């Protein structure tokens, strides 16, 4: 095995033909491309165990191992490297098969092999760099979107707490003052006492409305059982608002300490239940929360007419999918054999532990 000084990017050339290996190395180095080399699958595996390559040029027929087997072994040990396959004339079919397995490109050992080698390598490196930039930008976009949603949820919780702890308390004080005034006026003027009583009733209605707003802004209490309580209340509200049967089922307690995760699960259930009634015309909605050793699973099942033929166009579905992705979950939607739809969000226990 031979190695050259590391540079960025580094092309790792694996071929058991010593002479051709030298020629490929020199051809790339003349173009200013840094290289490292290996003459067997074993040597390639050893080199990659302690070094990093940006691209690998791989001969498909090494003496000690088939190229595709080497690629499989590297992938199974988390040492996969983007690769270009090198094959002999007449083996283009195998090269195409390797392209389907993830090869960036392929080269055939013909009379023009060394002439085309630098161009193909540069093109592959350029493609990989573009993909890396796109991946980085996508990751940054997702990070920013997650931060925006988290900030929004935090602000909603703050507003909800301010309404509950601040405005509701002030209104409660006004109601008490109105009741006292009503009692004092009742001995002097029935009309004035009646008006004071009406003021107290209006204030009570304002308190109920404010509490409802506070609950909507901050639906999940800040404790481990908050999600269960919130889903129980959601079922009661759906039943009251839409006049349909809605039940919440949770056998063993499902405790989630991370309030942000619990809130995302609640919003998914809220959206799915609303869709079931408004669009699915459901008469029965069942909300379930279960915990198994590997997962926490939230399900919303209905007896409606099913999901729209083109669900991807709905903003609600995109938001549910996005919320599931933020908390490391997977959202599935399926039509039930007996009719209706089941929306399920499952979260790996590992994701819950990371959140904690």
Instruction: Return per-residue pLDDT of the chain as tens, 356 residues.
Output: 544 444 468 999 999 999 999 999 999 998 888 999 999 999 999 999 999 999 999 998 888 998 889 988 888 888 889 999 988 866 677 777 888 878 898 888 888 889 999 999 999 999 999 998 998 888 888 788 777 777 777 777 777 777 767 777 788 888 888 888 888 888 787 888 888 888 888 888 887 777 677 666 667 877 888 999 999 999 998 998 889 999 999 988 999 988 889 989 999 999 999 999 988 899 999 999 999 888 999 999 999 987 665 544 566 788 898 889 888 899 999 988 888 999 999 998 766 555 54
C-alpha to C-alpha distance for 123 and 142, rounded to whole angstroms: 29
C-alpha to C-alpha distance for 149 and 123, rounded to whole angstroms: 39
- Going by C-alpha positions, the residue among 24, 80, 31 that lies closest to residue 55 is 80
β-bridge partners, 57: 13, 84
* pLDDT value of residue 307: 66
HEC string of 134-164 equals HHHHHHHHHHHHHHHHHHHHHHHHHHHHHHH
* pLDDT value of residue 308: 60
C-alpha to C-alpha distance for 56 and 84, rounded to whole angstroms: 6
Q: What is the pTM of this model?
A: 0.54
C-alpha to C-alpha distance for 265 and 268, rounded to whole angstroms: 5
Helices 113-162 and 18-30, axial angle in degrees (round to 10): 60
| Cα pseudo-dihedral 130, 131, 132, 138, rounded to 10 | 110
Q: Which two tokens stand for residue 179?
A: 């009741």
């Amino acid at each position: 095995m031979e190695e050259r000084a590391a540079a960025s990017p580094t092309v790792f050339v694996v071929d058991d033909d010593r002479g051709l290996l030298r020629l490929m190395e020199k051809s790339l180095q003349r173009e200013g491309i840094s290289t490292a080399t290996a003459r067997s699958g074993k040597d390639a595996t050893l080199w990659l165990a302690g070094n990093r390559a940006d691209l690998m040029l791989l001969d498909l027929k090494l003496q000690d191992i088939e190229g595709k087997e080497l690629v499989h072994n590297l992938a199974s040990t988390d040492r996969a490297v983007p690769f270009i396959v090198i094959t002999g004339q007449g083996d283009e079919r195998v090269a195409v098969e390797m392209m389907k397995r993830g090869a960036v490109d392929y080269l055939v050992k013909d009379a023009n092999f060394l002439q085309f080698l630098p161009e193909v390598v540069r093109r592959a490196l350029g493609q990989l760099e573009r993909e890396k930039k796109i991946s980085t930008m996508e990751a940054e976009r997702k990070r920013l979107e997650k931060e925006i949603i988290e900030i929004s949820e935090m602000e909603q919780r703050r507003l909800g707490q301010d309404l509950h702890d601040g405005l509701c308390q002030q209104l409660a004080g006004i109601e008490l003052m109105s009741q006292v005034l009503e009692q004092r006026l009742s001995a002097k003027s029935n009309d004035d006492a009646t008006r004071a009583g009406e003021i107290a009733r209006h204030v009570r209605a304002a308190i109920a409305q404010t509490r409802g707003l506070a609950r909507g802004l901050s639906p999940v209490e800040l404790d481990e059982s908050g999600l269960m309580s919130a889903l129980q209340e959601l079922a009661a509200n759906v039943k009251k608002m839409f006049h349909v049967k809605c039940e919440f089922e949770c056998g063993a307690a499902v405790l989630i300490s991370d309030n942000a995760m619990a809130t995302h699960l609640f919003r998914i259930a809220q959206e799915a239940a609303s869709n079931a009634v408004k669009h699915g015309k459901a008469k029965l909605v069942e909300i379930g929360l279960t915990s198994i050793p590997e997962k926490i699973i939230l399900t919303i099942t209905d007896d409606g007419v099913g999901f729209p033929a083109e669900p991807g166009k709905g903003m609600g579905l995109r938001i549910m999918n996005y919320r599931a992705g933020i908390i490391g979950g997977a959202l599935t939607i399926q039509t039930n054999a007996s009719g209706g739809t089941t929306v399920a969000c499952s979260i790996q226990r590992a994701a819950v532990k990371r959140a904690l």
